[in-house]
Structure 1
Amino acid sequence: MRYVTVTALSHPGLVRDHNEDSVVVGPWTLCGTVTENPQTLIFPLGTPLVVAVADGIGGQPGGEVASALVVRHLASYGPSLDSEEAVRDALNVCNQAVYAAAERDPELITMGTTVAGVVVLEESLLVFNVGDSRVLDAAGEGLRRLSVDDSPPLSPGQRTTSLVTQALGGGPRFTGIAPHITRSPLSEVDRCLVCTDGLTDPVPESTLRELLRAHDGGRAAYEMWKSAIEAGAPDNITLALIGIGGGT
């Protein structure tokens, strides 16, 4: 029996007064809360398993509402996400749901969120994102980006930016999305990291690479969170570390 182990953690950081991030692991969701201690869940490999983070857009109302709404939708759709088309349809439904919720409450009119994640299938991994939350291949000695940042080009010497060019919701009127969705064989990607930019902005990928080389599971998740905290943690930090193990 092969299995999927997912270790997740979410924390507001040291500057923001509350957490606008959310995470989904199969049927389990964590929305706008604090988990300094990593949570580990184990699932049999087979039925589609969705693992994703959503980062509510800061500086606009209702970021935590938008991110929670998206991960709860993904949790409900999870077992049916068996193809690129199914993932694309689910993300479009999430986008429509964020706009519909904002339309019902004028105080939430421009709320929005990024989303990034994977669907673990029996032989492959569906990688998806909208916005600048990331999916990183941590299977080998290096760290390879599988997602595509929706952000404007960086200026010379600039390493990060808080601007995004597309999100779920986020505008005064409905705007469609063009999700990034790719498929990778599990034989090539059997360990990956899904995270919000609260981790990747303050912590360089070279540091994440070293930590993932040195540690597994909960220890790796804790050390990555600790590195973000030591770097000032200017944003909410949410991550999910996914590993596929076992044998027949």
Structure 2
Amino acid sequence: MPYIAVTALSHAGLVREHNEDSLVVGPWTLCGTVTESPQTLLFPLGRPLVVAVADGLGGQPAGEVASELVVLRLAAAGPDLDGAESLGEAVEACNRAVYAAAAGRPELTTMGTTVAGVLLLEDSVLAFNVGDSKVFHTAQDGLRQVSVDDSPPPTPGRRTTSAVTQTLGGNRLPGSVTPHVADFPLPPGERCLVCSDGLTDPLPDEEIEELLRAHDDDGRAAYELWKAAIEAGGPDNITLALVRVGLGE
């Protein structure tokens, strides 16, 4: 029977005092905590499955509150999602929920989060994001980013930027978002990577691709990606999920 394998981990990194990332894998959520090692979950292919990372905005209050709220809502909405329209509506509902949670609570004003993930359906895979967390498709012809960064071009001489142009919440006055949604193929045996910028800021795409090519075992690949980000300074929270479709026996 075809199945979906999701291998994930989350870590605070070496600089941040605590983890503001949250993760959703189907009904399972991990919010603001640290995994000791990569964890793998298996699901039957056919039922809607959401795998997503939410990265609470650093430098603003309660990023971990915003990211947790988003993944909990996606976990609840996931079984009813059936395509791009319902997925976009669910992400916008998350945006409204972040603003509603902050209303009248000064300690939560301007809290916000990015989100990036995939919705796996029986015959299609949809990538979605708001902000600069990323989704990659890794296949035989190489690594390809399928999410769209909501960020301005980096300044000359720099590879990345910490600025974001669109987030869930994050402003004093409520506003809407335009989620990026795109379908892409994920044949059996190929993988996609969902991650926060704590992985991609210290590691160029070429190094991520090299590590994924070198390690076909998802648990080892997830560990080696995390290890490389830590060895590069671990400047931010690191959360990642490797998603693979398998055929079973």
What is the TM-score normalised by the length of structure 1? Answer: 0.97
Is the CA contact 2:15–2:234 (under 8 Å) kept in the aligned structure 1? yes
Which residue of 2 is the match for residue 242 of structure 1?
A: 243
TM-aligned CA deviation for residue 247 of structure 1:
5.4
- Coordinate RMSD, CA, aligned: 1.3
User: 2:198 — aligned with what?
Assistant: 198
Deviations 1:174-226 (A, max 9, x none): 01101000112333994100000000000111111111001121100000000
CA contact (8 A) 1:8 1:239 kept: yes
Task: Please give the alpha-carbon distance, in whole angstroms, between the structure 1 residues aligned to 2:184 and 2:247.
Answer: 19
> How far apart are residue 106 of structure 1 and its match?
1.3
Q: Give the equivalent residue in structure 2 for 1:81.
A: 81
Work out the CA distance in 2 between the residues paired with 1:9 and 1:182: 25
* Pairing 1:178–2:160 present: no
Unaligned runs of 5+ residues in structure 1 are none
SS of 1:35 mapped into structure 2? coil
Partner of 2:143: 143
Q: 1:56 offset after TM fit, Å?
A: 0.1
1:86-165 matches, within 5 Å, as 86-165=86-165
Kindly tell me: are residues 83 and 71 of structure 1, through their superposed partners in 2, closer, same or farther at Cα, counting changes over 3 Å? same
- Letter aligned with residue 112 of structure 1: G
Contact 1:123/1:186 (8 A) holds in 2: no
C-alpha distance in structure 1 between counterparts of 2:186 and 2:229, whole Å: 29
Gap change, CA 1:108 and 1:241, over 3 Å in 2 = same
Deviation for aligned residue 1:164: 0.2
Aligned residues: 248
Residue 59 (str. 1) matches residue 59 (str. 2): yes
Identity across the alignment (%) = 67
Letter in 2 for 1:20: E
How far apart are 1:97 and its partner, in Å?
A: 0.3
Q: Distance in 1 between matches of 2:190 and 2:82?
A: 18
Match of residue 222 from structure 1? 223
Q: How big is each residue's C-alpha offset from its partner over 1:60-83, in whole Å with a ceiling of 9 and x where there is no partner?
A: 000000000000000000111111
CA gap of 1:189–1:93, structure 2 versus 1, over 3 A, is farther
Q: Is the 8 A contact 2:9 2:239 kept in 1?
A: yes
Q: Secondary structure at the match of 1:54?
A: strand
Q: TM-score, normalised by structure 2?
A: 0.97
Asked whether the equivalents of residues 132 and 164 of structure 2 are also in contact (C-alpha less than 8 Å), the reply is: yes
Tell me whether 1:38 sits opposite 2:7 in the alignment: no
Aligned partners of 2:185 and 2:194: how far apart in 1? 17
Aligned AA for 1:63? G
Please state if 1:23 is matched with 2:38. no
Cα-to-partner distance string for 1:150-183 (whole Å, 9 max, x where unaligned): 0012233321011000000000010110100011
Q: What is aligned with 2:2?
A: 2
Could you tell me how far apart the structure 2 residues matched to 1:222 and 1:168 are?
Answer: 29
CA distance in 2, matches of 1:136, 1:203: 14
